Amino acid sequence: MSELESKNWHEQFIDDQEKISQNHQKIADKCAQKLIELGERLQAENEPGGKSIAEHGQKILHYTKIEQEKTQQASEQNEVNAYESTEIAAQQRRKATQEHVQAIEEYNAILLKKIQANQEKSKKS
């Protein structure tokens, strides 16, 4: 492979990674904001799990910020260093996804408790 072909491949790789990162960041940031709002609302209702859900939203924002920084670094670096930066960005993307899953699982548990409490209340009526 010639140097020109290699450079084009590298540039295309970085462009693709930037697009993936940008799309993920848009979605993750919206989800994080919704989780923070949900957590705050639950806290206002004195639901103990609300704080944890809001914290997951904050962590997602943190991970997407690092992802954005590493993706930007990758676009400015040579091929070897760019690969490392894109890998770190991908790791941050995975961490953000894990936080989202954990928040959803916690919220599902909160909803399940509320459903069970309502069912018990209905049985007593």
pLDDT reported for residue 60: 96
Query: For residue 79, which of 8, 1, 2 has the smallest C-alpha distance?
Result: 8
- How far lies 81's CA from each of 10, 23, 62, 70, in Å? 12, 23, 22, 10
91 burial (CB, 10 Å; 0-12 / 13-18 / 19+) is: middle
99 pLDDT more than 90: yes
- Average pLDDT score over residue span 57-84: 86
Residue-range definition of the domain harbouring residue 56: 3-124
pLDDT reported for residue 5: 56
pLDDT reported for residue 8: 74
What is the DSSP secondary structure assignment for residue 45, as one 8-state letter?
T
- Average pLDDT score over residue span 47-76: 92
Q: What does pLDDT average to over the chain?
A: 88
For the record, the structure tokens of 29 come out as 């940031």
Percent of the chain with pLDDT over 90: 58
Number of structural domains in the chain: 1
- pLDDT-derived band at 80 (thresholds 50, 70, 90) equals low
Query: For residue 99, which of 43, 59, 41, 72 has the smallest C-alpha distance?
Result: 59
pLDDT reported for residue 71: 86
